Amino acid sequence: MDKLLEQIKKGVVWPFSGGIHPPQQKSLSNSASITRLPLPDKLVVALKQHIGANGKLLVEKGQHVLKGQALTAPTANWSVPVHAPSSGIITDIAPQPSAHPSALPELSVVIEPDGKDEWVALNPINNPTTLSHDELVNIIHQAGISGMGGAGFPTYIKADTKQPIEFLIVNAVECEPYITADDTLMREHAIEVIQGLELMQQLLNPTLCIVGIEDNKPEAIIAMSKAAEHNEKIIVQTVPTIYPSGGEKQLIKLLTNREVPSAGIPADIGVLVHNTGTLFAVQQAVYEGKPLIERVVTVTGNTIHKPGNVWALLGTEIKHLLDCQGFSPVPQQRVVMGGPMMGFTLPTVRIGVVKTTNCILAPDHKELAEPGPEKACIRCSACADACPASLLPQQLQWFAKSKEYDKLQEHNLFDCIECGACAYVCPSEIPLVQYYRVAKMEIKEQQADKIKADRAKERFDARKERLDREQEERQNRHKRKPAAKSADEKQKVADALARVKSKSDNGDEKSAVAAAIARAKAKKLGDQSAELEPDNSEVAKERALRKEQARKYKDQKSQTDESAVSETPQSDAPVDDKKAAVAAAIARAKAKKAAQANEATEPAESEVPQTDTPVDDKKAAVAAAIARAKAKKAAKALEDAEPTVSEAPQTDAPVDDKKAAVAAAIARAKAKKAAKALEDAEPVVSETPQSEAPVDDKKAAVAAAIARAKAKKAAKALENAEPAISEAPQTDAPVDDKKAAVAAAIARAKAKKAAKALQDAETPSAPDNTDNSSSSIDANVPKSSDDKKKAAVAAAIARAKAKKLQKEGNDQS
């Protein structure tokens, strides 16, 4: 190490292989100082001018911005901001042609300068040694500084390198034949460049800082040496003029004899390289507080009347640079951004200057001849001899043509710095570098696709793994479930046995207790077991409640029926006697039938009361209704009596005793007839209330009174007739035929009983007119004239039948 340092300090350089010596044209532009151009009409500031991501846009169209105002804010992924190069109005934010051989559109902020060139408020640092590492790095970051030598690597990343840096190298080797921007910058701003180097020295603390300058820049060497003489850790090293000694790897080899490994970076070997212009920008950012908004650009070529170096605002269109420097284009004029070796021809001059733009070359045809048609490789190996990266350009070209990307990578295509030395020396004029550039781009696309595919595969594998895991978990659950199920089934069986036992031992408290305990245990074992033995107590309660309601409804209904029956004049009959209720119903039906029969057979008579009875006489109708009710009661009494009378002769009367039988039959027939007559006469009886009929309906009241009197008379006649009938068999029957006599006596007794019942039925007619019955009567008051007519007809029929019955009684007697 000490030996190396000593060697470096002694000025030893270690040449790299390859390289060429193209003719130098630096004198065209390095004779004059750097000039400042007038403000352009517009500035096209591309958001991305470096390696890394765009910053976040902070401005909008139409907004006025100041010089140095940030247009974007840095984000992640090596993003650095861009700033307004001058004050003005943002006229557009849109994709614009980029500083690239393809001129692919790049999002850009278009600013129309207001001519004031008014700076934003600046924050210069007079003594940056007081700044912390992060503060200094942040200033560099916010200033939007990126490598100005060509690659555009974000400077704050290099400034914050965590790897130990042994040699900090300043790349002042401007190897391109035409470019003099760094040369003039060092000549005019050597102190600032050294100050920038010292800021990086503060951040990285390298063992030694080496300023590498080609020996064709004597003024710059002097200026830089003078500016750095106060710092013993900075040495200015002169390197031979050979192209491409300005290449990073080549310069490291020249100055330190160290080689960057393939696919590696300088920091891997303890080396860090900064461009001269980058260090100047760092100094401006810290000491002046100015962001990176301009840079020195060499405008040269035989078509330029005033070749030289200019301070070009970033975003200044190339056309403005050419016009300002006196551009006289020739037919099929080419404008190259960069040097003739590594630069590229611009598709248009309406492209803005970016941070890596160091030269605009506008050569004539003599100066930079058009490459002739590509010829076949003659395998001269001149390309390999010129390659500074020790590659095999010829072989790489074959692989690139056949798109053998694996072979290209095996042959370290990416170690190619695209210096163009191989193409420069190729006698077949094969554009070798273009092949490499295309191949590199395609390989990068493939790698990007592969990264996408790998990520997709990772997602797929992760998803598949998740699905497999879930499936396995499901299977495990299914495996565990049968075991649990068997336990449940055992419990089910136990519960079922308990229930069966409790049922078989119905009434056995011990079994019930055991069943309850079993159920409790089943509930305790879980819901599933509980479901197996449902609790029916609630259902049983509901069922019992429904039964109770049905029972109550039934009782209520029967009470309602009974009350209905009791409302009739049959209130003397036992309430609970169903037979009496049925008999009463039969009696009512018979009474109605008799009324209908009388209506049909005696229409003439029915008309009589109609004429005598007033149509509007309600009381008469009420009386008729009462009469019908009483008639029903009498019919009931007679009906009860009839079977007894009729059965007596049938069962007890001797077969041979014809007279007795005949007498009994006659008695029964008369009894029936009398009952029928009484039933038909009920309306007459019911007319009793007609005594309270209105005074003006005298005829109806008289008729009702007559009917009642006749009914009584008929009953009396029947009573008188019955003994005669009963006695007739007695006189004619044999003395010793006791059974016949007994039957006849029973018949007579029953006939009497019936007559008595009829009498009883008639006598309560007066009480029926009391207030107690008025309610029921009122309820039955006929409302229509038809009902009144029917009542009158019934009364007339009763009267007629009473007459008939009286007549029959007389005949019988």
Q: Tokens for 422?
A: 């191989």
Q: Shortest gap between Cβ of 433 and ligand SF4 (angstroms)? A: 5
359 is known to lie in a ligand binding site: no
383 is known to lie in a ligand binding site: yes
Q: Is 621 in the site for ligand SF4 (CB under 6 A)?
A: no
Q: Shortest gap between Cβ of 282 and ligand SF4 (angstroms)? A: 29
209 is known to lie in a ligand binding site: no
Give which of 321, 326, 314 is closest to 336, Cα–Cα.
321
Candidates 128, 266, 352, 388: give the one binding ligand SF4 (CB under 6 A): 388
Q: Is 432 in the site for ligand SF4 (CB under 6 A)?
A: yes
Q: Is 393 in the site for ligand SF4 (CB under 6 A)?
A: yes
Site string for ligand SF4, 468-507 (x = CB under 6 A): ----------------------------------------
CA 227 to CA 555: how far, in whole Å? 127
Q: Is 200 in the site for ligand SF4 (CB under 6 A)?
A: no
* Interface size with ligand SF4, residues (CB under 6 A): 29
The burial of 169, by beta-carbon neighbours within 10 Å (0-12 exposed, 13-18 middle, 19 or more buried), is given as buried
Q: Shortest gap between Cβ of 260 and ligand SF4 (angstroms)? A: 13
Please, are residues 92 and 100 in contact by the beta-carbon 8 Å criterion? no
Candidates 136, 286, 292, 387: give the one binding ligand SF4 (CB under 6 A): 387
CA 630 to CA 672: how far, in whole Å? 18
3-state secondary structure of 69: coil
CA 376 to CA 23: how far, in whole Å? 26
Q: Is 433 in the site for ligand SF4 (CB under 6 A)?
A: yes
CA 789 to CA 560: how far, in whole Å? 31
For ligand SF4, the closer of residues 26 and 411 by Cβ is: 411
Q: Is 251 in the site for ligand SF4 (CB under 6 A)?
A: no
CA 480 to CA 468: how far, in whole Å? 18
DSSP-based helix, strand, coil % in the chain, nearest 5: 55, 10, 30
Residue 244: asked if its preceding bond is cis (omega within 30°), the reply is yes
Q: Shortest gap between Cβ of 180 and ligand SF4 (angstroms)? A: 22
175 is known to lie in a ligand binding site: no
Q: Is 543 in the site for ligand SF4 (CB under 6 A)?
A: no
CA 722 to CA 724: how far, in whole Å? 5
Q: Is 626 in the site for ligand SF4 (CB under 6 A)?
A: no
Q: Is 426 in the site for ligand SF4 (CB under 6 A)?
A: yes
387 is known to lie in a ligand binding site: yes
Q: Is 368 in the site for ligand SF4 (CB under 6 A)?
A: no
For ligand SF4, the closer of residues 225 and 412 by Cβ is: 412
Candidates 326, 427, 482, 734: give the one binding ligand SF4 (CB under 6 A): 427
Give the range of 365-373, 401-409, 411-419, 766-774 binding ligand SF4 by CB under 6 A. 411-419
Q: Is 456 in the site for ligand SF4 (CB under 6 A)?
A: no
Site string for ligand SF4, 502-541 (x = CB under 6 A): ----------------------------------------
Q: Tokens for 660?
A: 């007795």
422 is known to lie in a ligand binding site: yes
Please, are residues 262 and 275 in contact by the beta-carbon 8 Å criterion? no
CA 302 to CA 292: how far, in whole Å? 30
CA 368 to CA 358: how far, in whole Å? 18
For ligand SF4, the closer of residues 174 and 722 by Cβ is: 174
Q: Tokens for 248?
A: 């990073």
Candidates 354, 422, 711, 741: give the one binding ligand SF4 (CB under 6 A): 422
CA 156 to CA 141: how far, in whole Å? 5
Give which of 710, 567, 711, 689 is closest to 624, Cα–Cα.
689
Rg (CA), the chain: 68
Q: Tokens for 723?
A: 């003994």
Q: Is 245 in the site for ligand SF4 (CB under 6 A)?
A: no
Residues making up the annotated binding site are 377, 380, 383, 387, 416, 419, 422, 426
Positions in the binding site for ligand SF4 (CB under 6 A): 377-383, 386-389, 391, 393-394, 397, 416-422, 425-428, 430, 432-433
Residues making up the annotated binding site for [4Fe-4S] cluster are 377, 380, 383, 387, 416, 419, 422, 426
